[in-house]
Structure 1
Amino acid sequence: MNIIDLHCDALMKLRDARGTLSFADGANLNTNKEKLKKGNVKVQCFAIFIEPEMPSDQQFQAALEQIDYFYRDVLAKNPDMKQITKWSDFDRLLDNEIGAMLTLEGVEAIGNDLSKLHILYQLGVRSVGLTWNHANLAADGALEPRGGGLTAFGKEIVRWNNEHRVLTDVSHLCEQSFWDVMQLAEYPIASHSNSRKLCNHPRNLTDEQARAMFKSGGMIHVVYYPDFIREEGAPATIDDIIAHIDHFCSLGGRKQIGLGSDFDGISTFVHHLEDASKHPNLIEKLLRYFKEEDVKGFAYQNFLDHRPQDL
């Protein structure tokens, strides 16, 4: 069964390795091409993430460097990796091809300059999260003590996303920022978040937030990071991930749930789901609890049904 994975951090690892890590088969990558193929991942989204301690005057250059590795190491060296820049490109992938789409995890790199966001869009970014866990010029993140909402600049970014049919990712926002986004965004998505009801972590979504996402037509993609799956105690299992999916279903989201692994951005793993090649273990377990049509939805079809239309 094909998989669409909305989030990984392979580009950060490729940039940090400075040419010593192969995307094709690098053992240190959870989402190398070999593992993607083995796991039936049909589309992998690649996040551009800037470490928060990086000086602000270096951040845009760092973002461009990650994109350069995307073009040189992911695409140019692997002709069966096909960049997705139009929403209809998902439908054009051949059987032996894997789609690759750029996303932006936090707008720190653009500072207060919207033209830089337009440059990233021209290079292929099709989903934008306003911040990581902290505060920036656009919004407060999930771990920002202030818990403020979007700034005027942040609201301008959401309107820009709407105009260009770019997804606005809520996964790392604090609650007030989330609600501000929901008032404005035409294409909201949570690329890698779980249920706070089952795991009380500020990175997860409350039932009220989840219902708002589903009511708006937005998608929630469950994440495989154990800290977001269950609170301190026994190691996280695939059954624990399925519990989050089942809970979101109970809130009315059966047709609006997807997958967002966070591979290459996490250092601990769910047992039997340690890298992209292990996705069949998740699918096999899901098929024990849900109808095949529902599992196909979680794996790929729900996203295809709710993606924006091309301009």
Structure 2
Amino acid sequence: MVIDGHCDVLYKLFSNKQLQFDAHGQDIILQAGLPRLIEGGVKLQFCAIFIDEDEVGTPTFRHVLEYVDIYDKQLLSQPMIHPVLSKADLSVMNEDGKLGTLLHIEGADALEGDLMLLRMVYRLGVRTMGLTWNYSNWAADGAVEPRQGGLTTKGRKFIRECERIGIILDVSHLSERAFWDLEKETKKPFFASHSNVYDICPHNRNLRRDQLQAILDRDGLVGLTFVPYFVKQDKDATIDDFLRHVDYVCALGGADKLAFGSDFDGFSQMIPGLEHAGHFVNLANELYKRYKPEEVEGFLFGNWHRFLSHNLPD
């Protein structure tokens, strides 16, 4: 059983209207399409709304609605898939032949700092939120923004409203200064959906030791990702290289706050043996060689489940 904290399958479906989430056999293209999720034992999949400015120009709320429409028509139309909106909905993981999905916004550009639009996406099913992608917007600077600024005034108001209505905040794409601004501004636990360890692979999208410690101290969660260039600098990454990041977070005392956010369908170069969601079994096999069974079960699903059961709305 697996919970995966990040994928871009909705982006692929948005960009190529010919793709089908449930395609089988020779037609399988998606890394996190339905057959691969079933093959990998995924019981809950986070699905990101990521609007690519290079593809559509300025992100608008209409783009968000298009994503939600795709989510409804391609995913929620499947009899086995159920949206996770509350703590009670996590029970879908206990049902044979059922799979939960959780809607996430990766970059809040299209919401324009409008708290009414934020409340609207909550009503549409969004339960987790990353303020930025890699660059700056009205809310904050992203991880690779050259000036490396922090939260704006609108951004601070926005995260307070997220906390009030029950949207959990994701720090994976924030600049370092914006991360610390959010840490000071928030009262509730927050998480990194798909980031790795900067000390092992010094990429701006990875987290420094003190950032990782801050997430753990807040009873948050660190979702390690399979993107090769976040795993190893020369990009020739292996599962063993990925496990160095697992070891590091565990050494910080984070074994019960560590999970995975694959980023499947969000990158093209793969770690051998982790090319799609059906390969979670390969990762599990390597983890069981190194860790206690209860720890591995925590990494794969238990830690995400605990975090969500504490922080999703009632």
Is the TM value for this pair above 0.5?
A: yes
* Aligned position for 1:222: 224
* Aligned position for 1:22: 20
**Counterpart mapping for 1:290-305 below 5 A:** 290-305=291-306
Are the counterparts in 2 of residues 273 and 281 from structure 1 also a CA contact under 8 Å?
yes
Alpha-carbon distance in structure 2 between the residues aligned to 1:157 and 1:167: 12
Are the counterparts in 1 of residues 85 and 312 from structure 2 also a CA contact under 8 Å?
no
* Aligned position for 1:207: 209
* Aligned position for 2:267: 266
Are the counterparts in 2 of residues 102 and 127 from structure 1 also a CA contact under 8 Å?
yes
Are the counterparts in 2 of residues 80 and 96 from structure 1 also a CA contact under 8 Å?
yes
Are the counterparts in 1 of residues 82 and 92 from structure 2 also a CA contact under 8 Å?
no
Are the counterparts in 2 of residues 162 and 187 from structure 1 also a CA contact under 8 Å?
no
CA shift in 2, pair 1:309/1:132, >3 Å: closer
Alpha-carbon distance in structure 2 between the residues aligned to 1:270 and 1:67: 30
What letter corresponds to residue 9 of structure 2 in structure 1?
A: A
Which deviates further from its counterpart, 90-99 or 243-252? 90-99
Alpha-carbon distance in structure 1 between the residues aligned to 2:73 and 2:198: 39
What letter corresponds to residue 98 of structure 1 in structure 2?
A: L
* Aligned position for 1:60: 61
Alpha-carbon distance in structure 1 between the residues aligned to 2:92 and 2:45: 15
* Aligned position for 1:310: 313
What displacement does 1:239 show? 1.0
Match of 1:255, SS? helix
What displacement does 1:184 show? 2.2
Alpha-carbon distance in structure 2 between the residues aligned to 1:112 and 1:213: 25
What displacement does 1:161 show? 1.5
Alpha-carbon distance in structure 2 between the residues aligned to 1:242 and 1:165: 33
Q: What do residues 200-240 of structure 1 show as CA deviations (whole Å, max 9, x unaligned)?
A: 0000000010001100011000000001000116x211111
Match of 2:303, SS? helix
What letter corresponds to residue 83 of structure 1 in structure 2?
A: P
Q: What do residues 26-57 of structure 1 show as CA deviations (whole Å, max 9, x unaligned)?
A: 5221001100000000101100001133333x
What displacement does 1:116 show? 1.1
* Aligned position for 2:110: 109
**Counterpart mapping for 1:157-236 below 5 A:** 157-185=158-186, 186-232=188-234, 235-236=236-237
What letter corresponds to residue 127 of structure 1 in structure 2?
A: T
What letter corresponds to residue 293 of structure 1 in structure 2?
A: E
Match of 1:47, SS? strand
Alpha-carbon distance in structure 2 between the residues aligned to 1:164 and 1:217: 20
Are the counterparts in 1 of residues 168 and 312 from structure 2 also a CA contact under 8 Å?
no
Match of 1:282, SS? helix
* Aligned position for 2:240: 239
* Aligned position for 1:45: 46
CA shift in 2, pair 1:89/1:37, >3 Å: same
Alpha-carbon distance in structure 1 between the residues aligned to 2:11 and 2:189: 26
What displacement does 1:75 show? 1.2
* Aligned position for 1:6: 5
Which deviates further from its counterpart, 159-168 or 63-72? 159-168
Match of 1:304, SS? helix
What displacement does 1:152 show? 0.9
Match of 2:134, SS? coil
What letter corresponds to residue 196 of structure 1 in structure 2?
A: Y
What displacement does 1:309 show? 4.7
* Aligned position for 1:79: 79
Which contiguous aligned blocks of 4+ residues in structure 1 show a shift greater than 3 angstroms?
A: none
Instruction: Return the TM-score normalized by structure 2.
Output: 0.95
Alpha-carbon distance in structure 2 between the residues aligned to 1:309 and 1:143: 30
Unpaired runs of at least 5, structure 1? none
What letter corresponds to residue 195 of structure 2 in structure 1?
A: S
Alpha-carbon distance in structure 2 between the residues aligned to 1:23 and 1:214: 35
**Counterpart mapping for 1:281-292 below 5 A:** 281-292=282-293
Alpha-carbon distance in structure 2 between the residues aligned to 1:140 and 1:13: 25
What letter corresponds to residue 41 of structure 2 in structure 1?
A: N
Question: How much is the aligned-residue C-alpha RMSD, in angstroms?
Answer: 1.2
Instruction: Return the TM-score normalized by structure 1.
Output: 0.96
Residue identity over aligned pairs, in percent, reads 38
Q: What do residues 228-285 of structure 1 show as CA deviations (whole Å, max 9, x unaligned)?
A: 000116x211111111011001111110001100000011111000000010000000
| Matched residue count | 306
What letter corresponds to residue 204 of structure 2 in structure 1?
A: P
Q: What do residues 126-169 of structure 1 show as CA deviations (whole Å, max 9, x unaligned)?
A: 00000000000000000101111101111111111111222100
CA shift in 2, pair 1:44/1:183, >3 Å: same
What letter corresponds to residue 277 of structure 1 in structure 2?
A: G
What displacement does 1:195 show? 0.1
Alpha-carbon distance in structure 2 between the residues aligned to 1:87 and 1:6: 16
